[in-house]
Structure 1
Amino acid sequence: MSDGRPDPDLLLQRVRDEEIRARSGKLTIFFGAAPGVGKTYAMLEAARAEHGQGRDVVIGIAETHGRYDTAALLLGLEILPRRKIAHRTVNLEEFDLDLALSRRPGLLLVDELAHTNAEGSRHAKRWQDVVELLDAGIDVFTTLNVQHVESLKDVVAQITHVLVKETVPDSILDRADDIRVIDLPADELLERMREGKVYVPDQARRAVSNFFRKGNLIALRELALRRTAERVDAQMQHYKREHGIERVWPVGERVLVCVSPSPTSARLVRGARRLASSLHADWIAVYVETPASLRQSTEDNRRVAANLQLAQQLGAEAVTISGSNAAEAAMSYAHQRNVTRVVIGKPTHARWRDRLKASFLDEIVRHSGDVDVYVMSGDESAMRRAREEAQPARAPRGMAGYVMGAGVAVVSTLISWAFFRREQLPDTVMVYLLGIVLVSMRYGYGPSLLAAVASVVCFDFFFIPPYLTFAVGDLSHLVTFAVMFLVAGIISRLTTRVREQAQGAGERERRTASLYAMSRELATAKTLEHVVSIGQRHIGDVFGARVVVLRAGSLAPIVREGASLELDDKEKGVASWVWQNGQMAGAGTDTLPSARGVYLPLRASRGKLGVLGALATTPESLIEPQRRQHLEAFGAQLAAAMERAELAEEAQHARLQIESEQLRNALLSSVSHDLRTPLAVVTGAASTLLERNIAEGTRRELTETILHESDRLNRLVRNLLDVTRVEAGALRVKKEWQPLEEVVGAALHRVDAALQGREIITDLPDDLPLVPLDSVLIEQVLVNLLENAAKYTPAHASISIAARAQHKPENQVQVTVADRGPGIAPGEEERIFEKFYRAQEGRGGAGLGLTICRGIVAAHGGRIWAENRSTDEGGAMFHFTLPIEGEPPNLELQP
């Protein structure tokens, strides 16, 4: 039982719908039953009223048809210039969509919504121009007659015997915020016709005798009012849902229409739209791709794509599914989607075919269960034309199969006569069956049946007495003939079905394998350019097309390689429209169909990432529904990989920024303290020296303090500069063959003051070889290590320096500086060489000395590391190695 509280999901969806509607422009349609009822006049009057209230009103296009009273309403309103298009020898004027978008008025008037644009326009239909205007946030007033509504096209043709070619999808009417019916009784409209207020006299007389007959006008008026009533009812239902009013239907209706390559499917789609509209139900257009669909002609594939596209324009959900049996797959999908009514077409084939195989209608009814099945008639004339057009293309292939079926029967007869004669009839029957199986494997069901009939006839004529006649002496042979024909038919049917299923499975496997191959390579791609390169290559190979991926915003190619698609200005314009509107366009679509390639937006979770363009060697191949879905799947996979690559780049950039920020903070923290302390001491000592009455001993002590702190400050600045040189790769090592003892002595001399009172133990063997090194830099390493040992060890603790030559595994010298301090905390053996890192027992310093040591040693080709001494001895040991490369100079002692 409901507690009266609103559904939070519905509330969230309502908020989202309101946000989308708030960003879009508002559409007002002035709807009429026929030309001449006054739609344009009423639209202009409403526009003038809006203009009088201070609204920015602009006329994009208004057709007055020479009517004075209508033209008078244009006075005082801004009118956009029309765009001129040269078409053959005629100059046409069309609505300028780009000018309207740049002008961006508050309200734009666009007359005749169902108008077909001239060739070369951005959109094929004016209603598509209006959709782009609405998406740009511009309010639109427009006009429409009931005969131009797509779902009513067939009904209007039955009433008026006039087939209307310019139509508008019902989804446009559903999107309208306001539909204003401009109604006029049939007698008044006919009077306006006779007075010349609609057409000129000659045209008026022809119109009254044809389309504008009174009965037609009454029927069209009823259609217009009914269609408007449906729209009003939909608005009422929407209002009830928004305000939590009780629902009218406890269970919603859902309609499914089965789409096929048949020319009559278009009529079924329109009929399903009318049924769904009357039921206020969602509806689905389903095409089942069976193994036999792989043998369809290009024209059949084009019809399927057109029928599914028509269903989408009428507001349906277009779906393509796969299955070995079309009826079973369609009904299985219907049950999954909770469909209540299924719409199919009447059978058009001969009745005798139902004896051999159940019709699609029979199978649908058998699998329907509790789903209602509606059967509608199609356009027989369209079906006949399609058969006549398809017959020449299919005849050669069919004739070859039937000729081969008859030929196999002759060959089987010759083989049986040569090997078995008339004595081994069972073996002869097997030969005939083998021939029938071979025909069914190669040519299908029809030729295999012909082979079966021909085989039975040959078997009777040559092998059954009386010979060389079709008479049968023993009636028991009739059973043999029947069984032989029946077995041949069953084997032929099963073989054909297995072959079709194998072809279908192979095609699906190829699609899956192509997607898997690309996804496997994309998983290892690191950069955006690598991802795009992989995508272009795989899509180009699968579809036989030249492919380009355009960068978001600039629409410049991300990667140029091989046979990538080069875009001219026209193709760039198509790609730009796809980027701005987020919809597919180009060859084979309703938008900009004159383009050479097809373009689709690449979308991911964070929005649009770019545009994918493909120009196939045979553009018709991309029109097929399964190929189009395959391309969209490739695009979705490529977009996901592109987003992953961009996220990885952003993560890397963010990591570098974090590291830079941490380095900056550590630098400021360390340097600010180490600079402030000596500067404060120097400043205090200098200010004291300015006083006159200072004892000589105190003056000397202050001067020494200033000198000591200045030296400390100098070392800090020098360390910072050294670290900068090391990290920038500007450290230049000038190696010379040097005795290591001299470098150690120089380093001890430099730190003599810091080591006062300590015992220094040196262990430098006499047989130490000369070492190629930069004496200044290695001396700095020893100085830093000795100062570090003095800083982190108690006073009077000993410090030792040792060196050993090593010849295995490498020829090098290892130097060790050891102390008797507290040692290194576990886990800090590597961290103490990081910049600005200080041990917990540290006593000041910027934490740069060991970092500089590592950089200098690495520049020499060696390595440096630290470890603790044994537990009994205590303290830490720092080791570094210097490689010995080359031969030392031969030094001869002078006498």
Structure 2
Amino acid sequence: MTDASPHGRLKVFLGMCPGVGKTYAMLLAARALAEQGTDLVVGVVETHGRKETAALLEGLERQPMAKLPHRGTVLEEMDLDGLLARRPPVVLVDELAHSNAPGSRHPKRWQDVVELLEAGIDVLTTLNIQHLESRADIVRGICGVPVRETVPDSLLDRADSIELIDLSPRDLLRRLEEGKVYLGDRAQAAAANFFRPSHLTALRQLALRYTSERVGVDLHDIRSQRRHAPSWRVRERLLVAVGPSPFSPALIRRARAMAGALDAPWSAIAINTDETLSPDDAQRVSRHLALARELGAEASILEATDLVAGLLAAAREQGATQIVIGKSPRHRWRDHFRPPPALALLQSSGDIDVVAIEPGVLDETPAPPSTSSPPPAGRSATLREIAVAAIVAGVLAALGLLVFPWLGADNLALLLLCGVILGGLRFALPGTLTLALLSGLLWNFLFTEPFHSFEIHDPRDAIMFVALTIAALSIGSVASRLRRRERALSRQQSHHARLLEITGALTGPQSDPRTLGHCLETIMTLFRRPCALRLRDDATHELGPPHPAGRLELDPRDQAVAEWVFEKRQAAGHGTANLPEAAALHLPLQGRSFAMGVLSISPENGGLTFSDREILAAIAAQLGLALERDHLLRAIHHAEFLERSEQLRRSLLDHVSHELRTPVAIIGAALDALENEVPGRDLAPEMRAAHRRLRRVVDQLVESARLETGQVQPQPEWWDLLDLCETARERSQDDLTGHPFAIHIASGTPALVWLDGELTLAVLVNLLANAGQHTPAGTAIDLDAGLAEPDRLRFRVRDQGPGLADPARVFDRFHRGPHARPGGLGLGLSIVAGIVRGLGGTVTAGNATPQGAEFVIELPVRTSDHPPA
């Protein structure tokens, strides 16, 4: 079963209910693998007292169970860490839908299986059809029994093999009577309740139908590989509408089952209108979207002013062919004026199919309204607005009483209409309607005959009253739409501003602690929650200490969770399926290759909404990529540095070995001659020349090392300029032999100069030695000295040799010209450049006229005319 893929393979033994023989079939398959030489381990297997099943376990290696203390007792669970440490090719895990004991890493056993698969371990497991998430509501409707333990369909979608273990209801009931399913009173209770022939037949049909859907998907994949096969049908895509309703989970599961039957991608969307949701409703929407994502959907939230328009816009943008929506409760009078969303969607959908589903069974029971609890925020705002509108109407009527004697009823009606229009621009529809009705009634009651009565005798008064009401309704409706759009745009702008601000904070180099600190401060400001940031240590490749800008103190448990997140590259902690008992939410900063750290955020002041989690996940991903980019840049620079160092090392070894070969050979020959006592041969000059050559090599290597470590520190003192030049000639006399040499000091140059004489001598000696070694014998070499400026001393070394082939590279380390004579490391001129830079001067090289090479050095000095302070 094992292959070379990075992830393990999953085989599921699927049955319609307990007792059909799933565990027995899994053990038979395991024994067959063991006989073929496969190394496998039993992670957990429940025999339920069945002797046939227990007999198949004999001879198979079993992983000891983990002991978990809980409320004074010790519970046993599958030892996930032990299996990961053992890393067998195949692991047997019974009862995939099992809920783990409190304190386990994962709440569900199927999450343990996912971690085993991610570690490259193959898994054999068992599952009943009623524990499949998309079938749980159907099973509840059939059997009347709630299914508490479920497995997401997305896990079975990744299964490499699903084997149906089928048994007829008659045979299963016979096994139940024989005690091969349950024992004693439990068997009798099962026969009277769950194990009814009608229930078993329906469950068997569910299992067979799901297996046939899987076969259809596999056949579709096989046919899709045939290049020239005609398309069988157009690809479907489903979109399910999600809200805070307790019906939404059942609707999501139904949509998942439909998508599986159609082999179609699907997505879930929540339309966020201007209606203010309570914190509980917002958290419920987040849980519903998380459930949809867990079942394999693309989940998102869309800002829109209208539910129907938002759903249609999302469906057309995603290319959905079907919209799945729940049927809303019928309200006779409200539906007469405003059709329910399902009907409005059906009327406006065009070529998009609309599937309106009655979920039938509540997934969660809504809490009864409490008389002591405050009204929702939206209702409170509406009541306040109605009260304000009533006060405004009263104020307008009072002002009307003051000016009524001068304006009359008709003109006053126009003024009241202006007040209604202005109020419609401020209030929503309920407030505007209240203002209009009260203004009209007060106008009729106070300013039309008969006074202080609601009777209308004059047709003009009736027309005016109707005009006030229609104007109020029209303006209120338009103002309400504009306000909804404004709020939706404001929310979208806030959402985009968050991402833009974080993106701007990530533009700087993430290796700079100030950049990371600013980014962390921005995250804490945006979400109003303390955060902590731990980054990957490049040296140990483990999580480093928390960033000092963070304000979240992590306890030892949360620190351990953060390390697990860093290792497994999965989100964990509060509100997730991994280690949910942790106090904080931990997100990996995932790059393309590895995790760069962990971002931890506290869920205090209420849990994080789905939108907040999406934004945080995007921020963590961007931060991970930015950190990985900086890490890769540093790695590239380090690799380039190592490559240059290796090139220099190889070049140095080549040059040193070549340079030492000649003097060593001379010394060896001289020793041979001494041993043989060759008469008449003076060996001293040859040995002295070899000694000088070796000394030059050693001096150049030492000087080069000093320059690399930055140990050139000028120590100036007074020097006689002519003595300085003469000393340089004396130290270079071996290389100047056979060359006419002259020293020229420009007129007006002070005799004493304030500089580092030893370093200046090292520069001049290297330049003179270079000139003597690379010019033909008999050619002249000149050394000129003089002031370029009052505080800068210039030296010029000129020869009459062949010149420089590449003046720009003569100061590179180990560079030797194409016509250079044998000998030398190519370090002299690089040493010259390094010393001159250390002295604060400049050095240039070029070809002289009419021939030869010329080197010009300028050094900052003090002269006897300008002594130092």
TM over 0.5: yes
1:617 maps to a residue whose letter is: E
Question: Matches of 1:769 and 1:501 in 2, distance apart?
Answer: 87
Q: What is the CA-CA distance between 1:689 and the residue it aligns to?
A: 6.2
TM-score of the pair, normalised by structure 1: 0.86
- 1:780 counterpart residue number: 762
- 1:339 counterpart residue number: 320
Question: Matches of 1:85 and 1:692 in 2, distance apart?
Answer: 91
1:456 maps to a residue whose letter is: G
Q: What is the CA-CA distance between 1:366 and the residue it aligns to?
A: 4.1
Matches within 5 A, 1:589-668: 589-618=576-605, 620-621=607-608, 624-668=609-653
SS in 2 for 1:524: coil
Question: Matches of 2:404 and 2:693 in 1, distance apart?
Answer: 115
Matched, 1:849 2:828: yes
- 2:298 counterpart residue number: 317
Pair 1:821–1:487, CA change in 2 (3 A): farther
Matched, 1:497 2:475: no
Pair 1:746–1:493, CA change in 2 (3 A): same
Matches within 5 A, 1:132-531: 132-193=115-176, 198-199=181-182, 202-241=185-224, 246=229, 249-290=232-273, 292=274, 295-348=276-329, 350-354=331-335, 359-379=340-360, 385=366, 388=369, 392-394=375-377, 395-418=379-402, 422-423=407-408, 424-425=411-412, 426-440=414-428, 445-525=429-509, 527=511
2:860 maps to a residue whose letter is: L
Q: What is the CA-CA distance between 1:272 and the residue it aligns to?
A: 1.6
- 1:94 counterpart residue number: 77
> Quick check: 1:405–1:436 contact (8 Å CA) kept in 2?
no
> Quick check: 2:2–2:122 contact (8 Å CA) kept in 1?
no
Question: Matches of 1:561 and 1:887 in 2, distance apart?
Answer: 57
Matches within 5 A, 1:502-581: 502-525=486-509, 527=511, 532-543=516-527, 544-551=529-536, 555-557=542-544, 559-581=546-568
Pair 1:111–1:468, CA change in 2 (3 A): same
Question: Matches of 1:213 and 1:757 in 2, distance apart?
Answer: 117
**C-alpha distance after superposition, 1:436-489 (max 9, x if no partner):** 42233xxxx433433333333333333343333222232233333333333323
> Quick check: 1:738–1:775 contact (8 Å CA) kept in 2?
yes
Q: What is the CA-CA distance between 1:21 and the residue it aligns to?
A: 5.8
Question: Matches of 2:350 and 2:180 in 1, distance apart?
Answer: 57
User: Equivalent of 1:863, from 833, 838, 842?
Assistant: 842
Paired-residue identity, %:
37
2:239 maps to a residue whose letter is: L
> Quick check: 2:841–2:858 contact (8 Å CA) kept in 1?
yes
Q: What is the CA-CA distance between 1:786 and the residue it aligns to?
A: 2.9
1:855 maps to a residue whose letter is: G
Q: What is the CA-CA distance between 1:886 and the residue it aligns to?
A: 9.9
Question: Matches of 2:239 and 2:400 in 1, distance apart?
Answer: 54
Q: What is the CA-CA distance between 1:625 and the residue it aligns to?
A: 1.9
> Quick check: 1:266–1:310 contact (8 Å CA) kept in 2?
yes
**C-alpha distance after superposition, 1:279-338 (max 9, x if no partner):** 232322233344x26x32222222222222222333333344444444334333433444
- 1:812 counterpart residue number: 792
Question: Matches of 1:113 and 1:136 in 2, distance apart?
Answer: 18
> Quick check: 1:865–1:879 contact (8 Å CA) kept in 2?
yes
Pair 1:370–1:816, CA change in 2 (3 A): same
SS in 1 for 2:76: strand
Pair 1:865–1:486, CA change in 2 (3 A): same
Question: Matches of 1:887 and 1:508 in 2, distance apart?
Answer: 75
2:232 maps to a residue whose letter is: W
> Quick check: 2:249–2:363 contact (8 Å CA) kept in 1?
no
Q: What is the CA-CA distance between 1:79 and the residue it aligns to?
A: 4.2
User: Equivalent of 1:722, from 703, 715, 719?
Assistant: 703
> Quick check: 2:242–2:285 contact (8 Å CA) kept in 1?
yes
The size of the alignment, in residue pairs, is 856
Matches within 5 A, 1:655-804: 655-684=640-669, 687=672, 694-695=679-680, 699-700=681-682, 703-752=684-733, 754=736, 756=738, 758=740, 760-765=742-747, 768=750, 770-793=752-775, 795-804=777-786
**C-alpha distance after superposition, 1:361-399 (max 9, x if no partner):** 344334422222111124486799368479844454443
**Structure 1, gaps ≥5 residues long:** 1-16, 891-895
> Quick check: 1:114–1:125 contact (8 Å CA) kept in 2?
yes
1:152 maps to a residue whose letter is: R
Question: Matches of 2:346 and 2:11 in 1, distance apart?
Answer: 43
Question: Matches of 2:665 and 2:265 in 1, distance apart?
Answer: 82
Question: Matches of 1:557 and 1:709 in 2, distance apart?
Answer: 56
Pair 1:778–1:419, CA change in 2 (3 A): farther
Name whichever of 153-162 and 74-83 sits farther off.
Answer: 74-83
**Structure 2, gaps ≥5 residues long:** none
> Quick check: 1:404–1:439 contact (8 Å CA) kept in 2?
no
SS in 1 for 2:544: coil
Question: Matches of 1:757 and 1:56 in 2, distance apart?
Answer: 84
- 2:573 counterpart residue number: 586
> Quick check: 2:802–2:851 contact (8 Å CA) kept in 1?
no
SS in 1 for 2:810: helix
SS in 1 for 2:12: strand
2:309 maps to a residue whose letter is: E
1:518 maps to a residue whose letter is: I
TM-score of the pair, normalised by structure 2: 0.88
Q: What is the CA-CA distance between 1:537 and the residue it aligns to?
A: 3.1
Pair 1:840–1:225, CA change in 2 (3 A): closer
- 1:129 counterpart residue number: 112
2:763 maps to a residue whose letter is: V
Question: Matches of 2:671 and 2:65 in 1, distance apart?
Answer: 86
2:216 maps to a residue whose letter is: D
Question: Matches of 1:79 and 1:759 in 2, distance apart?
Answer: 92
Question: Matches of 1:171 and 1:70 in 2, distance apart?
Answer: 30
